[in-house]
Chain A
């Protein structure tokens, strides 16, 4: 038992092992080829720069080869890249070389590992020698121009081969991830789903499962309960996860007695990511029944059947959240920020001024203390953007609370017509998990199906149970006022949007930029021309997975960023006909048995994570991009652009009272 636990189980009592990128224990040696740069981590004025390239070709070679390859080549290669970085930094910061601490072995992060076949490597080697023949400046210029020119290619998912063989730099992004079924209907075999969430009581009674019917699920609930209890009773520890490397299955447990939650995933998500998703599901339960009520329900009645206590809408909402977590590009949850709706600074401040004035004018109808918080949102395809915020000075609501509210709104209004209003008691778990607040919700506009417009929603939140009419009156007056000031249209129709090509950031396919100060993020519109929902979803899924990997590379096992400031590059590479394995140091095992699952597409994807105390930037480059300097320059352009338009991209103050 101990052995198994040490190897596979990750409990709170035991220290967490991060697998080394290079499987140095089990193999005699590795032949490191041209493209294989070891992981580098450089400490430059407190910014940790990490280059993560998965190890290449773990074929056996004899010891002599090993010594040669490790000592001669990669060292040289890595020194080259360090010095090029260093010289750039030195020019600005006067950092001298001896301040650099170079560590070429530490890599606590990336779990991917890759294989190339030798033919591919030979190709690369040939290319490499040609490249070296070109003058460096000419080469750089060519790459630059090529990067700029890709914008003339329209992105098209519908016709992936419209331009003949794939160009070296393409602006389509390939899918390097295992495709696993998540959208299937619940009646399917339980094992066919790539991901599942199960919620049960501490007594092992089922509450909710994303997939699977009662009969299939109930025995699993017993098993989950037993596993969690085993560690509680025998090890005095909380089990966090079980990871099966061979089958790439992960089981993650969250014990919120009297509620137990478990996530199952074959998608290579990290424990920490799944844990955060479970926490969100738990937060939803709390938003519906609140923690005090929950404790009361289970007090002296551990046999309580919460499943029967919850309403149909609760299950719908849980399913909705699960769907978003599994299938949508929805960075809100993972980076814990809200997306904001772009608006000219003057207009936004006019709207906020109008709200503020209205609030003062109406103070006899809506006394101070009635309105706690107000929001205007826009909503499309389950995606919410914040337009305006009304809040008391010094008070804000936690993003998780707002995300839960948004999920509720989508669902509660799904089958209602636009004029209906809703009065919704909701517990905001991060604000106060023991009581309810009351939300007045009204759609200000409904976009016609197929129109590019989005729905607009007004939300007014009060702590008073009976404030419905006061809030309704205020809401109506506010909306009339905004319309009479000709501001309404800005909320309904004239949406500013931007595309990645609006920013002079060559080679970048898509990015997410989060402003830590405002806890908001922006990302460019998705640029794919398809009406097909399935394709759109597939594309979102793909981007989502890239971002998950990027995000995962920057945070440690407890969900805390590894460093306050850091810059990571990540490569995803596959060659044609090569087996590759993601997540887990697959070099230890036999890769052949899993290779069938992977797409055989030539891929060379690069992404970047940049975290500082001010912002977080995640970006995904176009396929074939491998020039880090250009990517870094693009990243800087994006940051500069986001800062320049900060007032448009983010809500800075809101209407405070």
Chain B
């Protein structure tokens, strides 16, 4: 644990099965892409050091969750204590776009965040490298959705051709750090925890 006073940012990636959550993460962390599709089981964990606005360093702990229905029972555990939530849909898949709102609601229900209104989400429309003929979700629709979810940032990305991935994750890290610090500021230390002790009664005594 060499890195003292370095924030650890927990980032959750959510979205339907096959929208490219894992590919996005691998593109970002390892700058690699694999054509082969392998469904995530449960969750994947990756870490990356991030430099935010060139002056703050943090460690991003990315929790890449499984999109498949059967892993959803674990969601509760994954969402707890997240600093930022990334919602991913596939621009060639209408269903995945329609489900974004329910992913967000699901997250808010289980994550137990202190201020749901201001909790940072980032919306990513993935696979924009696809032929225009295959794209079924318009950028306009995405921007409208983002606005309706509380003006959350939206990015159109491609894990395959590395479009916008770094930019998106920079924004994700910035939002996460902001959230982390907001929470820290809201708290005031109070060390007035002295114990009242009366020596003449035995209530504090220990049995051994």
Binding site for B on A (CB under 8 A): 201-206, 208-209, 213-215, 217-219, 221-223, 225-226, 228-230, 232-234, 290, 292-293, 296-297, 300-305, 307-308, 312, 315, 368-369, 372, 392, 394-399, 425, 427, 430-432, 434-438, 463-465, 519
Q: Are B195 and A226 in contact (CB under 8 A)?
A: no
In the complex, the answer to whether A305 meets B195 with C-beta atoms within 8 Å is no
The proximity string for B residues 173-186 relative to A, scoring 1 for CB distances below 8 Å and 0 otherwise, is 00000011001101
B46 CB-CB contact with A under 8 Å: yes
A residues less than 8 Å from B112 (CB atoms):
302
Given contacts A398-B208, A431-B206, contact A219 B46 (CB under 8 A): yes
Q: Is B3 an interface residue (CB 8 A)?
A: yes
Chain A residues with CB under 8 A of B202: 394-395
> Given that A233-B76, A301-B114 are contacting pairs, would A218 and B194 also be in contact in the complex, using a CB cutoff of 8 Å?
no
B81 within 8 A of A: yes
Task: Collect the chain B residues with CB atoms within 8 Å of residue A305's CB.
Answer: 7-8, 180
Among B1-38, those with CB < 8 Å from A are 1-8, 10
Chain B residue at minimal CB-CB distance from A465: B194
Asked if B141 lies at the interface with its beta carbon under 8 angstroms from chain A, I say no
Cβ contact within 8 Å between A232 and B195: no
Question: Given A218-B8, A301-B114, A369-B199, are A202 and B80 neighbors across the interface (CB < 8 Å)?
Answer: yes
Q: Quick check: A218 and B59 within 8 Å, CB to CB?
A: yes
Q: Give CA–CA (A292, B7) in the complex, Å.
A: 23
Closest chain B residue, CB of each to CB of A187: B2
A203-B10, A203-B82, A303-B83 given; name 9 further pairs at CB < 8 Å. Answer: A223-B45, A233-B73, A234-B73, A293-B193, A303-B82, A304-B81, A304-B184, A431-B204, A436-B191
Check B1 against A205 for contact (C-beta < 8 Å): no
Residues A464 and B82 in contact, CB atoms below 8 Å apart: no
Chain B interface residue count, CB cutoff 8 Å, equals 49
B59 proximity list for chain A (CB < 8 A):
214, 218
Does chain A have a CB within 8 A of B107?
no
- Chain B proximity of A392: nearest CB distance (Å): 5
**For residue A215, which residues in chain B have a CB less than 8 angstroms away from its CB?**
47
Cα–Cα, bound, A223→B78 (Å): 10
**Any A CB within 8 A of the CB of B153:** no
Given that A233-B74, A301-B114 are contacting pairs, would A463 and B80 also be in contact in the complex, using a CB cutoff of 8 Å?
Answer: no
How far is the CB of B44 from the nearest CB of chain A, in Å? 8
B103: min CB distance to chain A, Å: 18
Contacting pair B81 A434 (CB below 8 A): no
Could you tell me if B61 and A222 are in contact, using CB atoms closer than 8 angstroms?
A: yes
Q: Give the residue of A202, A208, A369 whose beta carbon is less than 8 angstroms from that of B81.
A: A202
User: Quick check: A435 and B206 within 8 Å, CB to CB?
Assistant: no
Nearest Cβ on chain B to A123's Cβ, whole angstroms: 50
Can you offer 30 A-B residue contacts whose CB atoms are under 8 A?
Answer: A203-B80, A203-B82, A205-B8, A206-B1, A214-B1, A215-B47, A217-B1, A218-B8, A219-B45, A226-B77, A230-B74, A290-B193, A293-B190, A293-B191, A293-B193, A296-B187, A301-B187, A302-B112, A303-B82, A303-B83, A304-B184, A305-B180, A308-B6, A315-B1, A369-B198, A372-B197, A395-B205, A430-B206, A435-B193, A463-B194
Residue of chain A at shortest CB distance from B76: A233
List chain B residues, Cβ under 8 A from A399: 208
A204 B61 Cβ-Cβ under 8 A? yes
Task: Determine the residue in chain A with the shortest Cβ distance to B63.
Answer: A222
The reply to whether B193 and A395 form a contact with Cβ atoms under 8 Å apart is no
A214 touches B81 (CB 8 A): no
Instruction: Please name the 7 residue pairs, one residue from A and one from B, whose CB atoms are nearest each other, closest first.
Output: A203-B81, A229-B77, A222-B45, A302-B81, A435-B195, A219-B45, A300-B114
Which residues of chain B from 45 to 92 have a CB within 8 Å of any chain A CB?
45-47, 59, 61, 63, 73-74, 76-78, 80-83
B137 interface residue per 8 A CB criterion: no
Q: How far is the CA of A219 from the CA of B10 in the complex (A)?
A: 11
B206 and A368 form a contact (CB under 8 A): no
Cβ 8 A contact of A302, one of B4, B80, B190: B80
The complex places the Cα of A230 from the Cα of B83 at a distance, in Å, of 21
> How far is A431 from B59 in the complex, measured between Cα atoms in Å?
37
Assess the B77–A225 pair: CB atoms within 8 A.
yes
Q: Does B196 contact A (CB under 8 A)?
A: yes
Contacts of B204 in A (CB 8 A): 395, 431-432
Min CB gap A236→B, angstroms? 12
CA distance A208 to B2 in the complex (A): 10
Shortest Cβ gap from B57 to chain A (Å): 12
What's the least CB distance linking A82 to chain B, in Å?
A: 37
Contact A226-B193, Cβ < 8 Å, known A205-B61, A214-B2:
no
Interface residues of B in 82-110 (CB under 8 A from A): 82-83
Contact B193 A436 (CB under 8 A): yes
How far, in angstroms, from A219 to B44 measured CA to CA in the complex? 8
**Given that A233-B73, A293-B193 are contacting pairs, would A397 and B10 also be in contact in the complex, using a CB cutoff of 8 Å?**
no
List which B131-184 residues lie within 8 A (CB) of chain A. Answer: 179-180, 183-184
Docked Cα-Cα span, A157 to B47, in Å, equals 47
Q: In the bound complex, what is the Cα–Cα distance between A141 and B55 (angstroms)?
A: 81
Residues A229 and B76 in contact in the complex (CB < 8 Å), given A204-B61, A396-B206, A437-B195: yes
A577, B7: Cα distance in complex, Å: 53
- Is A368 a contact partner of B47 (Cβ separation < 8 A)? no
Chain A residues closer than 8 Å to B195, beta-carbon distance: 432, 434-437, 463
Please tell me if B128 contacts chain A, counting CB pairs below 8 Å: no
Q: Which residues of B contact A368 (CB under 8 A)?
A: 199
Q: How far is the CA of A312 from the CA of B46 in the complex (A)?
A: 26
Q: How far is the CA of A425 from the CA of B195 in the complex (A)?
A: 11
Q: Give Cα A290–Cα B190 distance, bound, in whole angstroms.
A: 12
Across-interface contacts of A369 in B (CB, < 8 A): 197-199
Out of B61, B77, B197, which one reaches A218, CB within 8 Å?
B61
Indicate whether A519 sits within 8 Å of B208 (C-beta atoms), given known contacts A204-B81, A229-B74, A230-B77.
yes
What is the chain A residue whose CB lies nearest that of B43?
A226
A242, B164: Cα distance in complex, Å: 42
Residues of B within 8 A of A297 (CB): 187
CA gap between A315 and B5 in the complex, in Å: 13
| Cα(A396)–Cα(B190), bound, Å | 28
Q: A219-B46, A303-B183, A463-B194 are in contact. Are A392 and B199 (CB under 8 A)?
A: yes
| Residues on the A chain within 8 Å of B186, using CB | 301
Of the listed residues A217, A300, A305, A438, the one surrounded by the most CB atoms of chain B closer than 10 A to its CB is A305
Residues on the A chain within 8 Å of B8, using CB: 205-206, 218, 305, 307-308
Q: How far is the CB of A311 from chain B (nearest CB, A)?
A: 9
- Could you tell me the distance in whole angstroms from the C-beta of A201 to the nearest C-beta in chain B? 6
Task: Specify which chain B residues have a CB less than 8 angstroms from the CB of A293 in the assembled complex.
Answer: 190-191, 193
- What residues of B have a CB within 8 angstroms of the CB of A303 in the complex? 10, 81-83, 179-180, 183
User: How far, in angstroms, from A302 to B78 measured CA to CA in the complex?
Assistant: 12
B143 to chain A, nearest CB (A): 28
> In the assembled complex, how far is the CB of residue B191 from the closest CB belonging to chain A, in whole angstroms?
8
> Complex Cα distance A219/B62, Å?
9
State how many angstroms separate the Cβ of B196 from the closest Cβ of chain A. 7
A226–B78 CB distance below 8 A? yes
